[in-house]
Amino acid sequence: MQKKLLPLLFALMFALMFVLILSACGQKSSQPAAEAASGSASEQSSGSETGSASGTVTYQSENGPIEVPAHPQRVVDLSSYTGTLLKFGVPVVGVDQWTKGNPNFKDQLADVAQVSADDVEKIIELQPDLIFASSDVKNADKLKQIAPLVTYTYNKVDYLTQIEEVAKAAGKGEEAAAWVADFKQRAAAAGEDIKAKIGADKTVTVMEGDAKALYLFGDAWGRGTEVLYQAMGLKMPEKVKEVTSKQGYYDLSLEVLPEYMGDYVIFSKTLTGDNSFQQTDTYKNIPAVKAGHVYEADATGFYFNDALSLDYQLDFFKKSFLGE
Query: Is residue 149 domain-resident?
Result: yes
191 with 240, same domain?
yes
Closest C-alpha to 298, from 273, 277, 268? 268
Closest C-alpha to 127, from 72, 65, 57? 72
Question: How many other C-beta atoms are found inside a 10 Å radius of the C-beta of residue 231?
Answer: 24
Q: What is the CATH number of the domain that holds 262?
A: 3.40.50.1980
Look up the pTM and report it.
0.82
pLDDT at 324 (0 to 100)? 77
Enclosing domain of residue 293: 185-322
pLDDT at 11 (0 to 100)? 39
167 with 192, same domain?
no
Question: What is the total residue count of the chain?
Answer: 324
Query: Is residue 28 domain-resident?
Result: no
Closest C-alpha to 164, from 44, 70, 69, 77? 44
161 with 199, same domain?
no
DSSP class of 140: H
**128, 110 in Cβ contact below 8 A?**
no
Query: Is residue 289 domain-resident?
Result: yes
Q: State the first-to-last Cα distance of the chain, in angstroms, to the nearest integer.
A: 93
Question: How many other C-beta atoms are found inside a 10 Å radius of the C-beta of residue 320?
Answer: 18
pLDDT at 54 (0 to 100)? 59
pLDDT at 46 (0 to 100)? 38
Q: What residue ranges of the chain have pLDDT lower than 70?
A: 1-54
Query: Is residue 202 domain-resident?
Result: yes
Question: Considering its fold, how many domains does the chain have in total?
Answer: 2
Give start and end residues of each alpha helix (H) in 88-129.
97-100, 120-126
98 with 192, same domain?
no
**43, 49 in Cβ contact below 8 A?**
yes
